[in-house]
A and B are shown apart, each in its own frame.
Chain A
């Protein structure tokens, strides 16, 4: 099977999942499309090493990498350093306290806006869990973090959303 056929059969069915993740990471229609396009080129290059199962998680891993590379080029401020610790910088309370920033910024009017306002490291695990419905193990592989970190980031994402004033305003 040629790489192109493999790509069409294994990867292309997950284009929506890729776009959804890219869209929630970039929070922009056009940027998300650029990231997905880049991810597709990379996926085509490496599709030979993909064995059938887990194609969605494999592709989402590439999308996530493509996003962080895109971010370094276009929004360097969003991820502070480019040495791979960038994501953990985002959750390092000593650097900036994103939780406090999130709670102070009570401008989110809808739950979707509140999710979009979450620090990116929390946002990605929440999207992968609640919209993509992936297992902890798959999320750990995609985000390249231990399962324990998946659990703690998920717990913090949820607690931020639950503490957000808008969730109490509606009911």
Chain B
């Protein structure tokens, strides 16, 4: 595959389109082509910026109320319909039951797959946020090694209050926190220093227990995740996977007095 052929395909691939075979040859091409890799990265960088800087507008409570009121008015003007009853539909019920069972099964399967995908996307978004922050955009919005400073700063800006723990005596120094905007939700990010490494810890109210590999590598960064009693913890860093994984599990125990 040459670059001319690859151009549109790389874009489609980056947008999550295209079939497995094509994606395979694109991946192979990207490994050996810095030009196309740069193009792919510029799309990803633009996407990361759009998702953080371009707002997703949400319908106001007033609009919700207005729509519901109009629907109510329309409903009131329509006479209630009589439902078809009678025995001639009864034979359908067996099929309906089987259909329901099949739908429930499909729904469960679907939600599992969707939740898994959502988690994967969240990890990718978290790594992008980590990269942006460490590139010098804004690593820290509240700089403090005092958890009693970081915690109120975060809870004042979120609808939840993330546990902030100081693990300096274990080598993980709290250096501050910031707010990220991932997957359309504001997320608390705690920033720790471990030796020469910066560790970003993304804390969310426990979102899902959907399956996700506890440890992943995305673009060379390690992402380790653990679920605690009240929060979902995801640590992203270039630190050793084993260290990161132990650290995030330590945090997820949430057993340090607040």
Interface residues in chain A, defined as those with a beta carbon under 8 Å from any beta carbon in chain B: 2, 4, 7-8, 12, 15-16, 18-20, 23-24, 32-33, 36-37, 40-41, 44, 110-112, 115, 126, 129-131, 135-136, 151, 154-155, 158, 161-162, 167
Contact = CB atoms under 8 A, between A and B. Distances in A.
Interface string B34-74: 00000000110011011101111111101110110011001
A33 to B, nearest CB: 5
A155 B11 contact: yes
Nearest to A21: B57
A136 B53 contact: no
A19 B57 contact: yes
B81 interface: yes
Contact of B57 (A23, A37, A111): A23
Nearest to B17: A136
A33 B66 contact: yes
Interface of B: 8, 11-12, 15-17, 42-43, 46-47, 49-51, 53-60, 62-64, 66-67, 70-71, 74-75, 81
B132 to A, nearest CB: 10
B84 to A, nearest CB: 13
Contact of B67 (A4, A32, A40, A129): A40
Contacts of B64: 15
A26 B48 CA distance: 24
20 contacts: A4-B75, A7-B71, A15-B63, A18-B59, A19-B59, A20-B57, A24-B57, A33-B62, A36-B59, A37-B63, A40-B71, A112-B54, A129-B15, A130-B54, A131-B51, A131-B54, A131-B56, A135-B16, A151-B11, A161-B46
